[in-house]
Every structure is written in structure tokens, then in C-alpha cells.
Amino acid sequence: MVRVFLDTHRALMANPMRLRLRSFASSASALNWEGGVSMVQGASRGIGLEFVKHLLEKNEKGHVIATCRNPNGATGLLELKNQFAERLNILPLDLTVESTIEESAKSVTERYGSLNLLINASGILSIPNVLQPETTLSKLYKSSLMLAYEVNAVGPILVIKHMWPLLKAGGGFGTERDVAVVANLSARVGSIGDNRLGGWHSYRSSKAALNQLTKTISVEFARKKDPIACILLHPGTVDTDLSRPFQRNVRADKLFTKEFSVQKLLNIINNTKHQDNGKFFAWDGQEIPW
């Protein structure tokens, strides 16, 4: 034990910058932010907004950063800001513009210095006159594939890239977990092994890409022994704007409220351990095949 301490001490003394970073991370996350610091990307409505609400209401000491493209138009977030002025910080972030992700990371670094939880909640399935789930190969367009891939896969991964140093600094400090958690909202239809119906080419493939990128990142986190667990979550079919045009054939007991789904997903997040890094969970805690 003494030898380990001495070796660690010598290594830190040989690298003063590492010592300063370690000291900063410990003070910023462990001392100043009891209850942890969480970020919800894609927080203006739907599941993302519900995550923000639950995180603020269920954790009386935790701080929440909510990002969206247009904070001034995010009425739900602004209402929560009135209730939780000291614990909610709203930042602009557009997944398709990397500079806004960088600026967001800079703001979080300056104000908090660390993150303990990152939830990537944004996603697109359909946009009137722009993007519709394909029912046949003949209705597949390059523009649809590229847009779905950019928003559902590329954007969330770039957010992780820029928040990575903050997550490493935070780890599980201020929470009951032993690691920081990155939770990417995916979908069961993104599972290649579970694909028996076909269709929805753009959405399926973009979620499959998100799954693969998330898995790849989790391998790197493990190899570098970062105190981060990166997981994928399937929220079920939730009654939101995203799913509303496609709910006709969904059984009533399989159509979830936002409150129910987010409560289930947060239960998974709060119980995530280091060994869960790289796993894909459904809302009920069951693992989904890749």
C-alpha cells in the first residue's frame, strides 16, 4: 500500500499539470457539486424534457444542464428554470453544428468543471415533407439517410467527444455510482439481430450506427480505465411527437407515458456499474441483442 502511494506521488510530482488537473477535478466535482452534475442533450420537449424534470425533482441537490437548439423557444425548459433557477442551466446546442457543441462544453467546463451524467436524448424519425420512414427500398433517398445519420448517430457521438474530459473529471463523485454514465437513447429497431420486419431504412440504420459507435467508445473507455460507463437505452414506444404519427397499431399497454419511460430509464442509469459499460438495455432492464 505504501509503495503504491509513493509511486503515485512520484508520478504526480513528475507531472505538475497532471497534479493540477487531478486537484481541480476532485475539488470541482466532489466538493462543489453534491448530488452530481447531469447534462441532457435534446431537452426542449418529449423524453428529453421529462429527463430534466425528473432529475431536478428527484435529486434535491443535483445540478442539471439542458441543451437544445433554441433555448428561447423552449417553453417547457423556461418554466422549469423558474422553479429551479439555481440548479438548472440551459445552453444552446445544435447537433448538426459542431462549434455549438464545443461552446457548450466550454461553458460547462467554466461553470462546473465536471459531469457525472450525459444523456443524449435527441432523435428524428419523421419530418413532414422532408423525412418519412420508408416502407420499401424504392422510397429510400440519400438525403433521408444522411439527415437521419447526422442527427441520430453523428451528433450524439460528437457530444460525447467534447464532454469526455468533463466525464473523466466527474466520474461518480457526488452520486451513488462508481462511474460517470453516458446514456444514448437508441431503439430496438436499431438492433440488427432483432430485425425481422425490415423497413424504416434510414431510422434503423442510423440507430444501428449509434449502437456501433457507442460500443466502440465503450471499448476505448475500458481500455483507458476511464471512470465512465457508456450504455444504450431503448425507451419503448413513448407517447411523444416522434412516435405519434405511428401509434395506430401499438397496443395500449405498450404505449408508455413519458413519465413511466423516464422513470424506468433513470432506474437503469442510477444502478449502472462499471461492468455495464457497452451494454444495450430495454426500458425494463433486459439486454437487447446487437
CA dist., res. 13 & res. 134, Å (int): 59
Sign of the dihedral through C-alpha 266, 225, 192, 141: positive
C-alpha cell at 257: 407515458
Task: Give the mean model confidence (pLDDT) for residues 158-186.
Answer: 96
More confident of the two residues 265 and 193: 265
More confident of the two residues 134 and 128: 134
Whole-Å CA distances, 30 to 53, 60, 171, 200: 23, 16, 10, 45
Asked whether the predicted pLDDT for residue 129 surpasses 90, the reply is no
Task: Give the mean model confidence (pLDDT) for residues 13-19.
Answer: 47
Q: How many percent of the chain have pLDDT more than 70?
A: 85
Q: How many percent of the chain have pLDDT more than 90?
A: 73
| The pLDDT of residue 250 | 66
CA dist., res. 237 & res. 229, Å (int): 25
| The pLDDT of residue 248 | 67
| The pLDDT of residue 14 | 54
| The pLDDT of residue 169 | 96
Cβ proximity of 281 and 268 under 8 Å = yes
Assign residue 156 the CATH number of its domain.
Answer: 3.40.50.720
CB atoms within 10 A of CB 34: 13
In a domain, 160, yes or no: yes
In a domain, 17, yes or no: no
| The pLDDT of residue 21 | 41
| The pLDDT of residue 22 | 45
In a domain, 183, yes or no: yes
- Residue 174 dihedral angles phi and psi, to the nearest 5°: 80, 0
Count of domains for the chain: 1
More confident of the two residues 288 and 41: 41
Kindly report the pTM of this predicted structure: 0.86
Report DSSP state, residue 176: S
Asked whether the predicted pLDDT for residue 7 surpasses 60, the reply is no
In a domain, 3, yes or no: no
Please report which helix (H) or strand (E) contains residue 61, including its range.
none
Q: Tell me which residue of 104, 94, 22, 35 sits closest to 63, measured CA to CA.
A: 35
Range(s) of the domain holding residue 255: 37-282
In a domain, 65, yes or no: yes
Task: Give the mean model confidence (pLDDT) for residues 148-167.
Answer: 98
CA–CA–CA angle 202, 41, 150 (5° rounding): 25
pLDDT tens track for 211-245: 999 999 999 999 999 999 999 999 988 777 676 66
Task: Give the mean model confidence (pLDDT) for residues 136-145.
Answer: 95
**Candidate from 23-27, 132-136, 195-199, 201-205 with smallest mean pLDDT:** 23-27
In a domain, 126, yes or no: yes
Task: Give the mean model confidence (pLDDT) for residues 33-55.
Answer: 95
| The pLDDT of residue 12 | 47
CB-count burial class (<10 Å; 0-12, 13-18, 19+) for 270: middle
In a domain, 45, yes or no: yes
127 falls in which pLDDT band (50, 70, 90)? Answer: confident
In a domain, 258, yes or no: yes
Cβ proximity of 210 and 157 under 8 Å = yes
Cβ proximity of 170 and 229 under 8 Å = no
| The pLDDT of residue 5 | 44
C-alpha cell at 19: 497534479
